Amino acid sequence: MSFEADLKTLFGLDTVTYKYDLGKAELFDAAIAHDRGRIHQGGATDVQKAFPTKLGKHGPLAYYTDPDCTGRRVKDTYAVAWPEVADQIWFKDDLNRYDPDKYQVLLKRVVEHCNAKHSTLYVKDVFMGSDPEFAVPYRFVGEYATHALFAHNMFPKDLQGVKDVDTRRWTMLNVPSFWCDPAIDGCRSEAAIVIDIRNRICLVAGRADYSGSVKKTIFTVGNFLFPQQGRLSMHCSANVGANGDAAILFGLSGTGKTTLSADASRRLIGDDEIIWSDKDMGLCNLEGGCFAKLIDLDKHAEPVIASALKTPFAVLENVPALPGRKMEDCNPDDLDLSDRSITENLRISYPLEINPNVMPGGMGPQPKTIVLLTADAFGVLPPISILDAKDAMYHYVSGFTSKLAGTEVGVKEPQPAFSAGFGGPFMSLRPNVYAKLLAEKMERQKARCILLNTGWSGGPYGIGKRMKLSITRALLNAALEGKLDSVETVKHPVLNLHMPKACPGVDAKILNPRDTWADKTAYDAAAIKVRDMFRKNFETKGFATFGIEARI
């Protein structure tokens, strides 16, 4: 069946024009010429959204989202509560229940909207996963050429050996020009991102044009599918050292997964979405690109990401032009990456191969080190803690960090957050499913585990300072090289974490966070506050009933 016939059968699209499988240069031109919408609060809804830089086609595309969608619309993300899957889905604040009848009304109205306006839709066929054994066929269909270019950058393409492509394909219909009506459509606002497991559809309707929706929605799908196959899908990065030592780095957006995995001395598997299976090459990237944060980028400390700024057909998202100049007159190297006038969530999408050391096929061996990343805005957690198996399970299901400004709509400054598996919004099954798989695989591989704090030291946010990247890298490298395996530790008296008393290349004075605070009494009070937050989260989520042992 042709893709046109397939889309007519699936949706009823019959008076639209398709631009199928355009190359990067064609998508670049189409985005500049045709992507239209709103880029200023209260502004017109039909203005240009994509622009070239001074480098033209030799450089990136600059794209601007709707001002109401500079990050993920977590409260507007849903799964359809079809009877056959409703009991399996982990419905929560960031994956809401959508009434099946209302969903069918919404989908019909979106399709009628496209047919009535004779929409031009860009179609890009890609895969979620680089291993043909389990890769999921994924078809993007949407109004913005920018999003098709983003999909081209971010996912594997032309993967050979994938079976049953047509019967296993998931399709995203992405229509920013349609505005939802909560009274009719049963959603919360004028935008909705809806996963339909029965029909293998991802619907993005309304002002939800943040590019991350193109990848995180299908990742949420994968988190439903893969664990039921015995494969652990993870919100993490992964890389491999010169000695074949693989590492997994868990963490929410903004905790350092992309930055820390982009290490020139190690070969990258992927920076955000990874599968862990029982094969010899057990780690597999679900993507073919990187979606890195740019705010306050230190180009010397992060040369891989800095070099991507000049990459042809990379996508810069919400990066302002230089004051008084048009983007087409700006050299990407000169852009002010500390400019927060649009959002803190400045982003760049670029192909994985931009990294100098990439594992062939996006796959790597079984991991030797598990890293749990957190960005503690309270300044309480040690910069590094050594975890035993029970500690690892506890901190994995707790998923403590701080939501960083710009990562989600409405987040203006760091806020404490507990996110199971360090990716709760994307976990579509209950957390015990992932926790059980992680425990089994860690035990089988005898992998070491550390908790690495990339957050604040010397005081909370606003008083202390964020941990220097150079210190974080030194701590991480010591762990990866096994230099902390037998080091003497001291137990944190409140948080029950084992802190190394020394680490090569790191001032021992910072290893115990209490020693970095001028006001020790204030630190003790803050530590008790954080401890109580952990305990409340553990009790509220009912993790004890899943066989997880409380460790704090």
- What is the tens place of the pLDDT at every residue in 37-84? 999 999 999 999 999 999 999 999 999 999 999 999 999 999 999 999
Q: Are 70 and 345 in contact (CB under 8 A)?
A: yes
Q: Flag whether pLDDT at 409 surpasses 70.
A: no
**What pTM was estimated for this model as a whole?**
0.90
For residue 322, the 8-state DSSP code is P
Extract long-range pairs of 26-32: CB within 8 Å, 24+ residues apart. Answer: 27/122, 27/145, 27/146, 27/148, 27/149, 27/152, 27/313, 28/52, 28/57, 28/61, 28/145, 28/149, 28/313, 30/122, 30/145, 31/61, 31/63, 31/144, 31/145, 31/146, 31/149, 32/61
For residue 109, which amino acid is it? R
Both structure tokens of 374: 């957190």
Q: What is the mean pLDDT of residues 381-404?
A: 90
| Per-residue H/E/C for 3-61 | HHHHHHHHHCCCCCEEEECCCHHHHHHHHHHHCEECCCCCCCCCEECEEECCCHHHCCE
Alpha helices (H) along 117-247: 145-154, 165-168, 182-185, 212-225
Strands 489-491 and 465-466: unpaired
Q: Flag whether pLDDT at 423 surpasses 80.
A: yes
Q: Flag whether pLDDT at 549 surpasses 80.
A: yes
Residue indicated by tokens 């190690």: 266
CB hemisphere CA count around 169 (13 angstroms):
18
3-state secondary structure of 456: strand
3-state secondary structure of 315: strand
Q: Are 402 and 417 in contact (CB under 8 A)?
A: yes
- pLDDT number for residue 255: 87
- pLDDT number for residue 435: 85
- pLDDT number for residue 405: 56
Q: pLDDT averaged over the chain? A: 94
- pLDDT number for residue 548: 84
Q: The CATH number of 232-287+360-546 is which of 3.30.1360.200, 3.90.228.20, 3.30.930.10, 3.30.1360.10?
A: 3.90.228.20
- pLDDT number for residue 503: 97
Task: Return residue ranges of the chain for CATH 3.90.228.20.
Answer: 232-287+360-546
- In sequence order, the β-bridge partners of residue 410 are none
CB hemisphere CA count around 453 (13 angstroms):
27
For residue 507, the 8-state DSSP code is -
- 203-219 pLDDT, tens digit per residue, is 999 999 999 999 999 99
Task: Return residue ranges of the chain for CATH 3.40.449.10.
Answer: 3-34+72-229
Q: Flag whether pLDDT at 178 surpasses 80.
A: yes
- In sequence order, the β-bridge partners of residue 52 are 61
Q: What is the mean pLDDT of residues 317-342?
A: 97
- Confidence class of residue 414 from pLDDT cuts 50, 70 and 90? low
Q: Say what the alpha-carbon torsion angle 158, 293, 38, 116 is, to the nearest 10 degrees.
A: 20
- pLDDT number for residue 294: 94
- Confidence class of residue 412 from pLDDT cuts 50, 70 and 90? low
Question: Of 80-89, 295-304, 315-324, 374-383, where does mean pLDDT reach its minimum?
Answer: 295-304
CA 21/CA 197 separation, integer angstroms: 25
- In sequence order, the β-bridge partners of residue 201 are 171, 196
Alpha helices (H) along 233-299: 257-261
Q: Flag whether pLDDT at 415 surpasses 60.
A: yes
Fold of 3-34+72-229: Phosphoenolpyruvate Carboxykinase; domain 1 (3.40.449)
Residue ranges of E strands in 338-455: 347-351, 363-364, 367-374, 384-387, 400-403, 415-418, 448-453
- 464-515 pLDDT, tens digit per residue, is 999 999 999 999 999 999 999 999 999 999 999 999 999 999 999 999 999 9
- Confidence class of residue 126 from pLDDT cuts 50, 70 and 90? very high
Active site members? 72, 216, 235, 253, 257-258, 272, 347
User: Over pLDDT 70: what percentage of the chain?
Assistant: 98
Give residues with Cβ within 8 angstroms of 365, minimum separation 6: 240, 244, 246, 280, 281, 282, 283
Closest Cα to residue 538, out of 526, 551, 523, 519?
551
Assign 3-state DSSP to the chain and report helix, strand, coil percentages, each to 5. 30, 25, 45
Q: Flag whether pLDDT at 256 surpasses 60.
A: yes
- Confidence class of residue 374 from pLDDT cuts 50, 70 and 90? very high
Q: Flag whether pLDDT at 450 surpasses 70.
A: yes
Q: Flag whether pLDDT at 301 surpasses 90.
A: no
CA 394/CA 372 separation, integer angstroms: 11
- In sequence order, the β-bridge partners of residue 275 are 233, 284
Both structure tokens of 521: 């009494």
For residue 550, the 8-state DSSP code is P
